[in-house]
Structures are given as structure tokens and as C-alpha cells.
Structure 1
Amino acid sequence: MPSPFEKPPLYVVPFAPGAAEGRAQDQSAYRPVLFERPEVAESTVPHGLAKTVAAALPGLWYCLHLPASLPDLIDVDIWMLKAAQNLRLEHHILMVPIDCFEEDVLGEHLQHHHPVVTICPDELLDEARQRASALGFALPTTPYSQLSDATLAAQWKAIHEHFIPGLPRLPGEVALTHRLDLAPLTLPHRRLARQMGWPTAESVTQDTNMREAFAQALRGQRFLAALARLEREGVSHSEAGHRFRQTLQEEADRLRVPLALGLPGTAPAYARVAYDSEIRRRTKPQPAVSPDDTWSATLHERPDHMVERAAIEFAVTHQSVASSGLGLMLPTMPSDAFTTLAELERHFHTRHNSAAVKRLFTRLNEAAQPLWTAELKAAIRHASYLAVFSDFPLGLLTMPGDSAPLCARLPVTYRPLQPLTRMMQQQLSAPPAIGLGGTINVLVAECIPVSDPVGRMSRQGWNTACETAAPNSATLTITQAETPTLAALQQSVAEHRPDVLIISAHGTMAGNMAALVIGDEPHLDLGLDRVPPVVVLSACHVAPRGSGAVSITDLLLREGALAVLGTQVPVDVRRNAMLMVRFMVYLAKENTKPGQFSTILDVWHHVQTSNAVNDIIDASPNLREWATRTTVDGLPVLGEFMSNRATGRIRPSHVYKDTEHVLGEIADEQGQGDRVRNWFRRPGYVPESLFYVFAGRPDRIHLTPPQLLMEQARPGGSSQA
């Protein structure tokens, strides 16, 4: 008999559809992702949440307080709570138009989940109740008017009695959240507190500030890490009492937890195209903390800016609850930051120079200075990776005290906000974490004609990847395909069914669209029958952010990709080829001898950051020639740097500064120190490797199967599997 724990709970929040969300003529083509962008009159401004969809927000927030999985109902080992942070165990909530709430549409979800309860607006109660009953939902449908702490407690108890009545019930309840602005911190903490046996009642009031909420959440994470370590080490209760204080201090210093950030803001260039001047005047920036931002069954009836705020906060909280980590809302990104970013991106379309890029980076950091609160800096210092809900590339900013941008310090992935309706649907409909264990099949689709010099250099790069990466790994295959037309691309993907699709093409800006050129035509929609989990766009400026352009990088997420890697600016084909070759090499190494990296996002971050030395050396003919010279140890400069000198000396937060320092040491030994350092300044170099955006959920694509990760975290390691 299958265990009830094999399936997670499923919650449904139906809403009354408007014109954009109504049933498609072809019912079989319906997916819970809304493709059409609502008209301005039907959606909020400026991020574009359909007002009919906004009516689901009270129910969505309520569902975050229910069990995400059946183990939430029982006492589990502390080491499992810590290890599960790497698995992102999300709530499975479907937000669907009421007339699509039926088996034809939800059949796959009903097959792989326990249908538990439907939460709906009061006016939909009768119809929702009938549909939920026909689909076998375990608990009675609950209207918004009945949502309360008492209802929540009763449903926790009823879920336990229905699915696992023979197991002891974990005491304690998680009351409804009051302050939504602090919920990304407080709700994960209170859910953790319930498992740990700590007080779970929400102590957040109208007067609570960010500092207090953050301190409590961080303290809880430190306690969890210390107790999990003692449990993994098999320490007895008496010995744990003696060791706890020291262990807590050690874990506090090295604590790393997932961090989700919500960063609202719309590029002025986009707003000018999308909205008239009167609408733009009504759009005001939002602070990070707003005491009036509270939960209620009518929160969807608030003004646009508060409805959008509640939606972004929900997504960030959904993410932080899934990882049992930390989450923060940030203030609206200043418009000056978008304007400067757009100027920086445009600069790369011309013959760019190091001095101008540095000046623009300085202006960018000055414009974003209001973001850097003490809490944000502390959270980033303890983050294992960043999941950023924003249309602004936060990873390009440099945290005070660092000399390199955030994306060098730690892995960053983005969830685009515009339009907000699509972001909400994608956040709720993502598949569970997957493992790429076994053979990773890579398809390189070459869309650039061989007659094009860029096409020739591109093919040379992929040939090098095949020669360098694939032969060293029995678990990674690279197939090169000529796909000069969209039909050829579609056919090749259907034939090879790759895990990783690399599309080598020219990128183009067509109006306000960042598209791929395939067969002399710009394309935003590839029309693939099966989109691979990972898509790498080896093309120029397919993910610009400064102008708010509609990009194929973001739209591929809508088509079904789990993660998409794209470029913000035009990139040199030779440097891009080097990055891609190194990406394949490290994927092959990790898949052959796992252990260094957990996810594909970790692999990319290592490749991106460790490429700083190539950014520097490739900046001028003089530096390239010097890098081939022999050092006192008989190796070329680059080989000496990578093999002997750099190990343990390059801090990610200062990766370019430290790389310069180590290269300078080698130059000093050759009597070339002053000359080489002068080349660093004139003509200087550009950190081109940092202008890549990984959008979607690369943090959920494991190179080790998720089940094996849990076994490895078990006390005694995998030997107890």
C-alpha cells in the first residue's frame, strides 16, 4: 500500500474569470499559467496584476499557513529540517478560474497530490463546493468569510486525522499572519518554531520593526543549525548541553541559508510606453516596511499599490517558507537606477571602455544606496543564494564593503515581476526539484550561418567544448545541430529531447523586444513541444533590464523552461565561448564526481566568478601576450595563477581586486609589476562575465538526486541509506 507521504497536499483557490482569464476555446490547451496580459483597465499599475486574479490573494495567503507536506503534521528529526532547506518544499496551491476547476484541467495535479481543501470568495462558494466535492477534496470548501485562526487550527487537525490518523499529532498551531510586510521573515520562523517546540504565536504588532523581526528569524536559524549539527554528530543529550553554546557560536559564524528578496520597481522607459502620464503620476514608490500592510479577507479591494505589494510579498513568503529560510521586502527600486542601468547596457552596444563602465557602475550603486539597510547586509552575509523577485538585476549592485558586485559574492537567480499575473502563476505552478543525475544530454542548436564570422567562431567554441568536456565524462553528452530555421530548431529539440538546450544565435532588439534571430527573423516564442529544463541563450543582449524590454529569456519561462540563462549586453563571441566551454567542463566534472556543487546554479556561479581572471587578461593584446609568458615555476602566467597562486586567496566579494593582486605578484617576480598593473588601468578591463542573468529556478535543478541529498545529510551519512 503506498504511503500517504508520497504525495503532497493540494490546495485550490478559484476566482471568477474576466475576459483574459476565461476558458480557452480548446479546453485541452488550458494551463494554469495565464498567457494574455490584461488591459490596463483590468489590471493593477504598474506591475500588471489582473484584478480578477487579485481576488485570489486572501485565499493564497491563507493556504501558506496550512501544511506544505504531510511531515509538517508530525515530529521530525532536526537534521531533516535543516537538510530540507536545500529541497525547496513548496506549498502546492492552484489558482484557477472557477469554470476550469474540473478534472479535465486539474487531472495531473489530482493524480500526484492529495486534494485537501478549496478556499474561495464567498460569491463562488456554491459552485466551488460542488466542483471540489466531485473531485474528491478531503475537507469542506471554505469561504473567505470563515477564514480565522480557529478555522486554521481545525483544518490542521482534520488533515492529520484524514491522512495519517495513526501517527501522533505535533502540538502547537500557526496563527494567521497579521503583518504582510514582515511575513517573509515571520511566517517561516513560526512554522519552524512549531517543529522545534518554541512559542509559535505571532508577536508581530503594528509597532514591530524590521530589526526585531529579522533578529528573531536569524536567531531561529542559528539554533536550528547548531541543533542539527549536534544531532548529525550523534551527541547525547547530556553532552549536547555542554557543547551547545560553543556549537551555536560556530554555526552563527558560518550560517548559510536561502534568501528570498522582493524588489518592486518598473523601468521608466517601459512605463512611458505602457501607461499615460496621469497613471504614471499616480504610481508612487513603496517603502520596505508598511505597518498598515495587513492581512484581511478583503485585501484584494485595496488600492493598486497595496494589492501589488501583497502579491509580491506572497511570492517572496511562498519562497522563504519553501526553503525554511529568510525573506525580505525591499523598497521600490529608484527610477534613477533603471535609467543608469539602461545607459550602462547601451554603452556595450558601442566600443565600450573600462573607465566609462566604472563610472556607470558607481552611479548605479549611488542610485541604489537606499536599499542597503543593516538587515539586508546581514541577510546577504548569511545567504547561501539569492532568489530575487524583481525586474532589476540586483546582482550587479555592490554591497557596501565589497569591491565586486553581488553576483560574484553568491549565486543569484531572478523571478521577473512584469506582468505580475504571470509571475504569480509561475511561482505557484513550478514543478518540484529535479535531479540531473545520470547522463546529462546537451543539445547545441547553431542558428548562425557558417558564412557569418561569428558563426564560425561559435562552432569552434562548441568543438572545443566537445573535445574538452564530453570525453572526460561518461555522464555528459554534447550534440551539435545545424538549426538555421525555427522549424529545424523545433525538430531538433523534439528529436534529441535534451536536458540542457544551448541556442547559439544572434540577439536583436526589435522595438521593446529582446529576441533571438533565427532564419533572419526575430523570435520571442519558440513554440517547442517540450521545453528542456535548462535553456542557455548563447546570444547577445537577450535579457536587458534597464529599459524594461520584453525578453525571450523571461518568455521561455512561460513556455515551460525551469531555468534560462541569458545575457544583458552584447558579449564577445570568443569570451562567451570560453564561458560556455567552462560551464560544460564543470557540469561534466560534477556529474562524474559529485560533491563540490549542489545545483546547476552553483556550477554557473563558480564558472562566472572564476572567469574574472579571463576578463582581466583578455582586456588587451599586451595582457594576453603577457599571460602566455613563462613564470619562474615554468608555467604560463595563467596556468601558474590557476594551479598554484589563486587557491584560497580569491574572495568572491573582492574577486577582481584579489585577482589583480595575485597577478601583480607574478608580474613582480618577472620584473613586470608596474607595467602589468598599468595595463589593468589603461586600457583597463570590463567585468563582462557578470552581465549574465539566470532566470527561473536553477536552484531547483540538482546534480545529485534530491533523495540522495537527504540521505547524505542523515546522521552517519549515506552509509545509512
Structure 2
Amino acid sequence: MNSDIFSYVIVFNSTKETANISPLLFKSRHDIIDDNSSMHMLDEDLIDIIPAIKYVLHLPRFIYDVIDCPDKVMLMWNGISHNIILIPDNQIKYIEYYYNRIKSCPTLFIVSDNCSTSIIDICNNYRAILGMCKVSELTETLLNDHWNSLALFAQKYIGINEVLPIKHCFLSDENLPALPLLFYANQLNEQDLLIKDLAKTNNKIEETCIKWACKYSMMLATWSYFINNNIDTSTITEEQYRTISERNIRFNNSVVASLPGQSKNLKKNHISNSDYSLIDSQIISIICIHKAIDKNGIYIELPIIQDDAFTLLDELESHCTDSQRYNNKYIWNTITKIGKLLGNKLNDYQINALKYAKDNTFFSDFPIGLAILPGDEVPLLCYKSITYRPLTPLTRQLQFELLPKRSITLKKKFKIAFAQCIDNDDKIFDYSEYVYGFIQNRPDCFTINHATIKTVEEMIGFVNRNRDADILYISAHGWYKKDQNIAGIAIGSDIWMANENLVFPPVVILSACHVSPRGRGAVCISDLIMRNGAIAVLGTSIPVDVIRNDILMVRLFTYMVEIFEKRRESQDLSQLWNHIVFTNAIHEIMKQSKGLEKWMYEEIAPNKTRLHEFELERCVGRLRPNYVYSDTIAIIKEMLNDDGLHGKYDSILNNKDFFPESFFYQWIGSPDSIMIDNTESND
């Protein structure tokens, strides 16, 4: 579909000399701060082109935005947002590199007013579909001219006659969250109705967006029903449509939310010296709206997270790092306090949107999935698919978001590169190798390349040799230095932060302790791996138990096997992980008592343990997402009663005296862009 996708280039004046051909240079938190006016560290050279990015978000994404789009095509809109390349003027000569990479041709060049005449001439020479204009020339009149020109382009070169006669206008900054809805409103000739409704919001933009999102979600679900049942939509009566659509009246949209704010530890160490600014707000809104368009979802702007939430998180991570034995009651109480702090800052529309969303994407340096929202007994991450996208440094996050979306599909026999960094004389070596053995014993599902890594040089070589891998699995000891505020992994006698110029596979699993702590705003290896090309990275924020970790990892690959064997529907990686966390309550409760664990693993019939009975029979249809631990405990007590053990293990079951380790695993990046597919491989 690349030939149908429009691509926009925004050229800004750079005050920095560079030979790097990345559109924007990555800078670590330790060297990005001079006189920066942005809390989340935005390159000030980008400030002048903020109006240009907003302008492009009002333009068509692809050919189907300017034509009367068929119902079937609208049902496949998910995963389409604007392709926007931000490039410094001193790198304009490399523009061909980017267009060869995304296999597209330029639609429009927008040039910062302070760029030189020679830069303007270069942009004009590329003969983009809409030519070139300056930032100061962007008006509503030009916006409509550009839409009309692209409609003519569709008619002339694609052979499409039914274009949309639409008059476009700019949404105010307050109403920008409604921008993802406009593309559907355009198709249904409802843009005027939507804009009039926005004018009556009275600062209740979430309410209006949720209402319209529900309407369009219901419409798409209804069309999908008719199309999947081979019913000609042109013959449907109004009563038929109403009957089916009433079944689909619910909020089932993706939610993209911003939660700005930084750990006070960064300010204390002079890594960030600014408060939250209007510039931060505008860029974060742009990023979130772009993602909401991509996911056919809605954008919700959450309040700035306060220092006390980061302090609680830091105390929680420190307790888990420094304690010889976890205080489980303290852990649950702290998670509850974090939820109350955040819940008190959110309105009812925001809370309900997060709870009932199809999935949640958070642009934040804080793992909000840990929060127990009002009315729940478990964190949001237990029952919602969650993706984290760290905001800092904001320059890099902006670049990642605006470039073309990367996604992959994992089919049977996809390649796993397994890097074993644990010494074979280490007491946890055999546990670490257990996961490798599980994968190796399923050659019909996975192709695996295993290597023992003893030096950083060997790791770099292994990564370079396995660029074609789909998943890089790294088993290692984590290394978190709070005094330096950095978190990496130990390889031999060295510490590795993955800050070399490497190209990583799309999925990286860091099977290691505290490689992604967030309470102190540490520079983490997980974030740096994202910088080097990974689409999704799994890391932990605390030390993890090797046996519990094995259970989680084996369950992850087990469910992949079930998908490949068509015993489970295809899922994206984020959905699959959410199911693992949701159903991990039984394992975490069992691990708190050797007696309970032994009892659950006892065989009660040939090839059937009590754990099998729980998972395959007792819990089916009885685990409520928001109350999974209470429901799990109730079923365990029921099983104990049936076995004449009433009251057994009540000291654990009644007091939440168990450690929820799975809460402290985080996917960052876009695990929702990694599909595990049960159709046959093309190989």
C-alpha cells in the first residue's frame, strides 16, 4: 500500500553541525541539557516547525482519505497514520536515503522560514506532488487547496472518480484530541456536526471524543457483521441496521494517553532543569494524536504526574532491590497508594476510558499500569493490554512516532537468537538454560541460534550476526547503579548498556533483573535498545526470581506454540502478554508456600494435577478481570474445602501475603505491532 500513502517532509534549520544521517540525533539524558526549556528534553531547533507538524496532521494520510471510501477498506484503516520525516537542513542531501527506505515519493515539503534559499531550491527540485511551502504560508485556504490537489491526483493517476468534496478547517489546540475522528467524519459528511459539537464541549473534550468514538466503533462493528455474513450493505434496511448496531453500543476503542512528568532525581542531578512547558505539551499532544490516528483510537491528556508518585515508585523499587525478603503487604499497600494518587487526579471519563479501552498506550516515564484505579483490586496492567512509550528524550520519541510504522508478523519457525550471558558455574545457569531447552525442543515452531556470551565484544558480534532474527532473548544478570542512575546487564566482568551503533532484531526480551527501573528516571538498557531499532523490548524494574521468570517465559513461548498449532487465535504480543499476567495470579499465590505449591502440583488423575484442574476446569468463566486475585483465592479455597482442608493456608490467602512479580515486567515500544499469526509460513 506504500504507493497509496502520502509522505510529508518537514525541514528545519539546525544550529548543530552533524554528519549523522539520522533525521534527528539521539542524545542521552546526560548530554542533552544546556539551556533547554523542555522538561522532557526537546531539541529547541524543532520549536519553529510545531505549526508545520500540526498542519500535516490535518492533511490526508493516504489515497483513501480523499475518495468515497468503500466500507471494506474503512474496516482495514487500523495502522495508518501520517508519514512525516523531520530532517535538519544540513542533512537535506540525504533525503533520497529515507525515500528509498520507505519506498515512497514525497507529497509535500514544508520548510522552516529561517532556512536558506539554497535549501528551498533543493526542496523545489524534488518536485513533490504538492510542491514546497514555508511554515509561515500555512493557512486554512492552503489546507483546502492541498486536499483538492490530492483529490485531483487520485483522479488523474489512480483512476478514481468519487472524491470527497470537503471544506477543511484547523482544530484549535483544545480540540486537537478530536482529530482522529475527523477522518471518519469526512467519509460520512459529518465533519460540520463534529466541529459544532466540539464548540459546545465546555472543557469536556474527553466526553465528546468518547461519544463520537463509540458511534464510529458501533458503525464499523455493524458493517463488519454484514460483510462477514455476506450481506450486501446496499440492501440493508434502516431497521436491520438499527437492530445490529444496538448490539455494538459500547466503548471498545484504543486509548492513547499522555502522562507527563519526571522523577525529581533527574532535576537533583541536573539531567533535567525545566518545569513542564507549553512546548512539552504541544509536542506530546502531537505524538499522542499521531498514535491515536494510527490505532483508530482516542487521545486523553492526563495530568502531570507529581513527585510523590515517583517517590513511592522509587521506594517500592528500592525495597525490592535492597530487601533480603519482600514485605508483600508493603508492596500491595504501596501499589494501592500509587493508584489513589493517580485516581484522585483523573476525572470519571478518563478513568472509565482507561478501564474499558480496547487497549492502552501510555506516553510516559511512569509505569501507570501499576496503578490500582478506583473500584479495582488489581493494577490496570492485570486486565488491560498496555504499551509504554517513554517520553524522555522527547526529541527522539517524536522522531520514532512520526516515521512510518514498523510491524512484523511472527509465523511458525520464526528465528530466535538466544544470548546466554550467565556463567555455567553460576547457580542459576541451569534455570536460565531451561527456557532455551523448552524452545529448542520445539523445532517445528521455532528456529533458534544459541550462543554463550562472555564478553561485550562477543555480544556485539552476536547481535550483528543475528540481524535477521525476529526475537533476541538475552539471559543475564541485571546491573543497576542507583548512585549513577543507570541500569544495564553484566557480561563477564563488564557492564553493557547497548549504547553502540547496533541494529537490533524487532523484539528483544531482557531476562534479567532491574534493567528498566523508573522511580529515579534511570538511563536504562531497554530504552537504548529501542534507540537502536527494536520495535518492542521487555524488561523488569526490580530483581526477579529466576524460577518465577522461567514460568513467565515458558508460558509466553507455550502460548505462541498454541497459536501456531491453531489451539489459540492469532494475537499481537501485547495482548498475549496481558493474558499471561492476568492468568499468572495462581502461580504467584502458589509460589508463596511450598506446601500449597506441592499440593497444587499433586497428580489427582493420570496426567492431571490440581493446577490442571484449576486452569482447565475450575477457573473457566469465573475470573473477573478487575478482581482476578480474589476470584483465584476463592477457587483455591473451594478446592481445599473439597479436599477436607478448610482454613488451610488462610494466613496467605486472606492477607495478600504473596508477591505479584509479574506486575514489574514492562513492554516498551510497540508490542502491539508484533503479530503472532497461526496461518502457515510463506517459507
Q: Same fold (TM over 0.5)?
A: yes
Distance in 1 of aligned mates of 2:679 and 2:103: 18
| Counterpart check, 1:44 vs 2:15 | no
Give the one of 14, 18, 23 matched to 2:18.
Answer: 23
- Counterpart residue number, 2:188: 196
**Distance change (3 Å), C-alpha of 1:57 and 1:595:** farther
Distance in 1 of aligned mates of 2:85 and 2:680: 25
Alignment map for 1:168-567 (pairs within 5 Å)? 168-173=161-166, 175-184=168-177, 186-200=178-192, 202-203=195-196, 204-205=198-199, 207-210=202-205, 211-233=207-229, 234-237=231-234, 239-253=236-250, 255-274=251-270, 279=273, 283=275, 305-349=277-321, 350=323, 351-467=325-441, 470-471=442-443, 474-496=444-466, 497-510=468-481, 511-525=484-498, 527=500, 529-567=502-540
Distance in 1 of aligned mates of 2:402 and 2:123: 19
Letter in 2 for 1:160: A
**Distance change (3 Å), C-alpha of 1:79 and 1:360:** same
Letter in 2 for 1:192: Y
Deviation at 1:246, TM superposition (A): 2.7
Alignment map for 1:121-132 (pairs within 5 Å)? 121-124=112-115, 126-132=117-123
CA contact (8 A) 1:462 1:581 kept: no
Which digits, 9 at most, give the CA deviation of each residue in 1:157-179, with x for residues without a partner? 21232354231243243634433
| Counterpart check, 1:137 vs 2:128 | yes
Q: Give SS of 2:195's match.
A: coil
- Counterpart residue number, 1:158: 149
Distance in 1 of aligned mates of 2:566 and 2:607: 30
**Distance change (3 Å), C-alpha of 1:150 and 1:502:** same
**Distance change (3 Å), C-alpha of 1:326 and 1:156:** same
Deviation at 1:554, TM superposition (A): 1.0
- Counterpart residue number, 1:118: 109
Percent of matched pairs sharing the same residue: 27
RMSD over equivalenced CA pairs, Å: 2.5
CA contact (8 A) 2:255 2:354 kept: yes
CA contact (8 A) 1:442 1:498 kept: yes
Letter in 2 for 1:503: I
CA contact (8 A) 2:530 2:537 kept: yes
Distance in 1 of aligned mates of 2:503 and 2:289: 30
Which has the larger displacement, 395-404 or 499-508?
395-404
List gaps (5 residues or longer) in structure 1.
Answer: 285-304, 709-721
Which digits, 9 at most, give the CA deviation of each residue in 1:153-207, with x for residues without a partner? 11112123235423124324363443324423x1011111112232346333484
Deviation at 1:387, TM superposition (A): 1.1
CA contact (8 A) 2:411 2:680 kept: no
CA contact (8 A) 2:83 2:404 kept: no
Give the one of 663, 671, 675 matched to 1:690.
Answer: 663
Deviation at 1:220, TM superposition (A): 3.1
Which has the larger displacement, 90-99 or 361-370?
361-370
Deviation at 1:545, TM superposition (A): 0.9
- Counterpart residue number, 1:702: 675
Which digits, 9 at most, give the CA deviation of each residue in 1:486-530, with x for residues without a partner? 222222233343110010011111311011111222221253643
Letter in 1 for 2:238: G
Distance in 2 of aligned mates of 1:236 and 1:578: 48
Distance in 2 of aligned mates of 1:582 and 1:704: 17
Letter in 2 for 1:520: S
CA contact (8 A) 1:5 1:71 kept: no
Deviation at 1:707, TM superposition (A): 14
CA contact (8 A) 2:214 2:249 kept: no
- Counterpart residue number, 1:81: 74
Alignment map for 1:52-71 (pairs within 5 Å)? 52-71=45-64
Distance in 2 of aligned mates of 1:202 and 1:482: 60
List gaps (5 residues or longer) in structure 2.
Answer: none
CA contact (8 A) 1:182 1:328 kept: no
Which digits, 9 at most, give the CA deviation of each residue in 1:30-49, with x for residues without a partner? 21242125643442331111
TM-score for both structures, normalised by structure 1 = 0.87
Distance in 2 of aligned mates of 1:566 and 1:164: 49
Letter in 2 for 1:481: A
Distance in 2 of aligned mates of 1:119 and 1:56: 9
